[in-house]
Chains A and B, each alone.
Chain A
Amino acid sequence: MVAKACQYHLTVTNRMLPLISAFKKDLYHCADCNYCVDAVWAERGIDHVCATMQHHTPLTSYSGRGYIAAARAWLEGVDLDLNALGERVFTCTTCGNCEQVCPIGLHPTAVGRALRGELWAHEQVPAPLAALHQDLLRDENPNGVPRAQRMQWACGLPKTAETIESVLYLPGCAAATTTSTEARAAVALFTAAGYWVNTLGEADSCCGAPLHELGLDHAAARMFEALSGKASGDRLVVMSGLECACSWQRGAATRQALSFVAWLAQALHAGRLQLHTTRDLGSSIHLLDSCQSRRSATNSLVREILNGVGVAFTSSPTDPRYVVCCGAAGGMPRMQPESAARMACARISASEPDSLWVSADPRCVAHLRAAMPSARVFGLAEFLTTYCAGSF
């Protein structure tokens, strides 16, 4: 087929593409500089940019710049093969590194998400993600775990004492359905800090973050509202999922809601928890930053926490703002599971072979463990409760 390629007609055809039209400024501002495609800048800790391009395909149509070019072409009236477009934009991990490195502050990740939204509207969604959507509606989690089993993570946990201060703990889908050890360790730390731990029990559900990553903003917002409605009252809400923390920021920025990392940092700072390393760890510790929280303080807080309890660790890249995805996020795990596993192995292999890997993001923990079962990967709470002594 001959491409009826983008003609750079500078008059937009006013196609009914409201989601990408909202990014017109980005589409016409892209300098084609290719920083979002690939870049290495040691002084800034930028060591390649796009995990998809590194571990799935080097085709630039899978990059942030590729999404901008496709969105512009579509808006300008080029007849694109939407099937091929879907394959490209739904594979993206939504890690946001392309946005982070863009020297002029454009939003290629968001453009990719807008393209996803348009593709839903055009009913051009790749089958694995249509299935994920169905799973989410049915099970209220993206991991295929029946709804009735969501609370199994808490089985056998003793009821925590009723104290004046309580937290409403929402582990998030990953910790609840795939990394229960992390959820249980979090409860141990809440308790040690003197909090009465509540959950939503059977009513606990997904915050809508996976729908947001799929480009279904309205559906994501609805799912979030359903959850936040259940979490009524003025109780402090704490969640382990870092993508959940992003949902709460988007959906209820005024609500008293914290990521578990932020809560832990506060508790340590206030002296409510005392932790220190007890054992010679015997291995070097490698911190795996989360791409989902590159713009929040979370990655720095994890560093503060580890430093505070006396854990010496390495991390790569050194600057967490430019962290490359481990393959757990976005459409990647469903669209391209083998590439997603390669991304995980690459993150692990970037440090010493016998390390002990720590991640504050339960979704990454589950994905990394599945991709490389031999690697000793810990959630943050799990690591602290295993290797530190303190007031718990």
Chain B
Amino acid sequence: MNAVRKVTETLDPAVVSDNPIDLLTYQRDCSVSPPGHAQAMVRPRDKDDVAAVLREATRQQVPVYVRGGGTMYAGGVNPHQGGLVLDLTGMNRILDIDLARGVVLIEPGVRFGALTQMLKPHGQTIGIIPVTGPTATIGGAASAHALGTGSARFQSFADEVVGLEVVLPSGQVIRTGSAAGPKAEYFHRFGMGPDLTGLFLGGDATFGVITAIALWLHPLPKFRDTQCYGFASAAAAANFIGAVQARELTRLVWYGSGYEAGTIKSRVLGAVPDTAPESLPQFCVGLDFGGDEPMVRHDQQLIATLCADTGGRLYPLFNESYFRHLRNEEIYWYGYAGYFSRSRCAILMSSLATPSMPAFLTAVAQLRTEYPQFLWGAAVVLCRRGLHGGIMAFYDEAREWEAAQDATQAATALLVKAGCTPYKTGKLWAEQLAGFTQYHEVLQSLKQLFDPQAILSPGNLGLGHNANLEKKSDVL
């Protein structure tokens, strides 16, 4: 019997498939990263299934890749070294909504759309929701550091996590944060020494498999409104964003994003063709406010003043022609709008300090010059502090897939040089991360400690690439 079969033989056959047709959809995520070829997939029903798989996979040295919604753009779910894929979408129960503690406890396969739908009647929501909300899972988001709606107000998905239940490669199950205590529940993340929760957030399934997640609840804002601000340069816009962040005026901003001249031109002229091109700003910042109306209006006034102080102006035209619609209804569809121009998109996400925004945009300009065959897009997403800088290269899958991989790798190097750091690492940033020598050495030591056989997601974060495993899965 081969090693993969040994891992799956004790499981209920209903949760396992090794049919090659079933495995076709487990080859990759939305990314440009090369697909991988697993020998089987398991769709666990609970943490015991997960523990059984990991325990035996460690014994048999079979690679295990973990998959939620499969919507990430960094190749984290792609089974490069073969083995098994754990599809966690079957673990999709909402375990507890505790309004008194302000915590919701869910299994990792719950999709954002299902969770927000469930919370709405309680007047509650969660902090961070990505553009892929209808289909992305909470487990994937925790493991991939989701961002988007909520970033400006709450910073990062990891900040919203109260605690986790995690199955380690040994099969051991741990609970982190306050729930680590024998009788305690999830109500506080920190306290008992270092923050173990953080090890698994953004971990791309390299140290353990998350089987339950506790998140903070927040009241749904009663009133929402969007505003846009135009600037003559990206530097001026960066000063504005920095000033807003320093005064903590993102406290009622649920989403904030920055747009380049090209986007402004196409959107505004598309909606109002007789707009004088010279009147268009070079950079626009859109903010989506939510809260009690008087408080929102109060903050909007303060922000308008900061905008004027930093040389900008309120720019309702961009709001009306684009940003307001995007934030109202279109957001979950809009993420795929660029796919109409080419067939696929290589997305790369980094984080940067707000003053580095011009350097980030210079790197994007360089990519446009060096790889003119692709359609490049760029946007920054505001966090409570700092920014996320996203780069998109739209390419033609049938002709340009390999070239797009090269361009994306070049982009990672360029962004690191510009002072950005990897965000949503997966396999896409692995090479750069491995270059952060001391940091990566510590990650490697931790990997050795948690996953000595390097079975979990080999290749992610540049960790655990095990040539022996590769050989082993070749002959399976």
Binding site for B on A (CB under 8 A): 1-6, 8, 10, 24, 28-29, 31-35, 37-44, 46-47, 58-61, 63, 65-66, 69-70, 73, 80-81, 84-85, 88, 103-105
**14 contacts across the A-B interface (CB closer than 8 A):** A3-B39, A4-B20, A28-B397, A29-B397, A32-B28, A37-B25, A59-B22, A60-B22, A65-B25, A73-B24, A80-B21, A84-B20, A85-B21, A104-B340
Q: Is the CB of B25 within 8 A of A66?
A: yes
Q: Is the CB of B113 within 8 A of A40?
A: yes
Bound: A41/B21 CA distance, A? 29
Q: Is the CB of A29 within 8 A of B37?
A: no
Q: Is the CB of A39 within 8 A of B134?
A: yes
Bound: A81/B87 CA distance, A? 22
**Contact of A38 (CB < 8 Å), options: B29, B133, B135, B401:** B135
Q: How far is the CB of B151 from chain A (nearest CB, A)?
A: 20
Q: How far is the CB of B56 from chain A (nearest CB, A)?
A: 20
Bound: A59/B14 CA distance, A? 10
- Residues in chain B near residue A37, CB distance under 8 A: 25, 135
- The chain A residue with its CB closest to the CB of B20 is A3
Bound: A40/B129 CA distance, A? 13
Q: Is the CB of A61 within 8 A of B35?
A: no
- Residues in chain B near residue A88, CB distance under 8 A: 21
Bound: A66/B23 CA distance, A? 9
A10/B401 contact (C-beta < 8 A), A58-B90, A66-B25 known: yes
Interface string of B103-121 (1 = CB under 8 A from A): 0000000010110110010
Q: Is the CB of B336 within 8 A of A32?
A: no
**Contact of B20 (CB < 8 Å), options: A34, A60, A80:** A80
- The chain B residue with its CB closest to the CB of A105 is B340
Binds A, one of B249-257, B327-335, B348-356: B327-335
Q: How far is the CB of B26 from chain A (nearest CB, A)?
A: 8
Interface string of B335-349 (1 = CB under 8 A from A): 110011001110000
- Residues in chain A near residue B184, CB distance under 8 A: none
Does B222 sit at the interface, judged by CB under 8 A?
Answer: no
Q: Is the CB of B27 within 8 A of A33?
A: no
Does B163 sit at the interface, judged by CB under 8 A?
Answer: no
Number of residues of chain B lying within 8 A (CB) of chain A: 52
Q: Please report whether the interface of chain A is mostly helix, strand, loop or mixed according to DSSP.
A: loop
- Residues in chain B near residue A81, CB distance under 8 A: 19-21
Bound: A2/B3 CA distance, A? 13
Q: Is the CB of A43 within 8 A of B23?
A: no
Bound: A356/B335 CA distance, A? 41
**Contact of A40 (CB < 8 Å), options: B117, B340, B397, B401:** B117
- Residues in chain B near residue A10, CB distance under 8 A: 397-399, 401-402
- The chain A residue with its CB closest to the CB of B116 is A42
- Residues in chain B near residue A63, CB distance under 8 A: 25
Bound: A41/B115 CA distance, A? 10
**Contact of A41 (CB < 8 Å), options: B69, B332, B336:** B332
A3/B25 contact (C-beta < 8 A), A34-B69, A39-B134, A103-B335 known: no
Bound: A81/B135 CA distance, A? 29
B6-26 contacts to A (CB < 8 Å): 17-26
- Residues in chain B near residue A8, CB distance under 8 A: 27, 34-35, 401
A31/B134 contact (C-beta < 8 A), A8-B34, A43-B329 known: no
Bound: A88/B19 CA distance, A? 12
A39/B111 contact (C-beta < 8 A), A8-B35, A31-B344 known: yes
- Residues in chain B near residue A41, CB distance under 8 A: 113, 133-134, 332
Q: How far is the CB of B28 from chain A (nearest CB, A)?
A: 6
Q: Is the CB of A29 within 8 A of B339?
A: yes
A33/B20 contact (C-beta < 8 A), A10-B401, A103-B335, A103-B336 known: no
Q: How far is the CB of A83 from chain B (nearest CB, A)?
A: 10
Q: Is the CB of A35 within 8 A of B135?
A: yes
Bound: A70/B132 CA distance, A? 24
